Amino acid sequence: MLDFNHRLSFSEAIMKRIDLALDAENKLKPKRNYLGASRLGASCDRALQYEYSNTPKDPGRDFLGTTLRNFDAGHVFEDLMVRWLKMAGFELLTHSSDGDQFGFETLDGKIQGHIDGVIVNAPSQFDFSFPMLWECKSKANKVWRQIKNQGVEIVDPVYAAQMPLYQAYLEPQFPGISSNPALFTAINKETAEIHFELVAFNGALAQQRSDRGVRIIEACEAGELQPRMTKTDTHYECRICPWQDRCWERVPR
């Protein structure tokens, strides 16, 4: 029997207040005026155009409280990993002397990237070469195990593309960073297990994704929509896209 008079439990009520506060905070954040390098491995050129141009999302497709809480939790896990690595004898740089994240910009600032950190020294038992890019992600158990078993380059093309881009563009700031493999770190959100893997620099992929970014920016400035990544709106990536209805012309442009 349906309960049309359902009242929130005190737990649900507290969570709702938290989610409303997070949503209000998120709406106050300034919108990006650039295409993030970390997104250039995403599947759909058109979706990246919508993202770069701050095109309004379909009604009801804004970030939910659950997503915003996950974002915050991811930052906490990253901060913990920085602490743990430093405790274990790794010399890790995450911010410049002025307090900003290390990063780069190109195409007059229309493409930008910000990295998690650079390892400049480590215990000698690992025989690492420096400097080396460090990227950290926290994942649910299922995806974490896939990454551990198959490697990040197979499981997540977005991460696989962003690392060589960072290495290529950060070479002037950290000479040698593109000659050394990146250290990718994945933390299991459910068990706190940690997976580390070395990812060799892929110059061809870095160039390909950089060229893609330029193409998307140029298409936006020319008012030209790039092709969709699929011919049907039932594709699983299309179904979760926040611009699905707009893209398939079910809402006004």
Q: Domains of the chain (ranges plus CATH)?
A: 10-247 (3.90.320.10)
Distance CA 111, CA 181 (A): 23
Of the candidate ranges 32-36, 88-92, 128-132, 185-189, the one whose mean pLDDT is the lowest: 32-36
Q: Where are the alpha helices (DSSP H) in 44-169?
A: 45-52, 65-87, 141-150, 152-155, 157-169
pTM for the model:
0.89
Tens of pLDDT, residue by residue over 205-237, are 999 999 999 999 999 999 999 999 999 989 998
Confidence of residue 253 (pLDDT cuts 50, 70, 90): low
The two three-digit tokens of residue 99, written as one number: 């307090």
Contact (Cβ atoms closer than 8 angstroms) between residue 143 and residue 155: yes
Residue 89 Cα distances to 12, 97, 124, 125, 149, angstroms: 43, 21, 10, 11, 27
Tens of pLDDT, residue by residue over 131-161, are 999 999 999 999 999 999 999 999 998 898 9
Which residues are bridge partners to 106 per DSSP? 111
Q: Over range 155-176, report the average pLDDT.
A: 94
Q: What pLDDT sits at residue 68?
A: 85
Q: What pLDDT sits at residue 215?
A: 96
Distance CA 238, CA 228 (A): 9
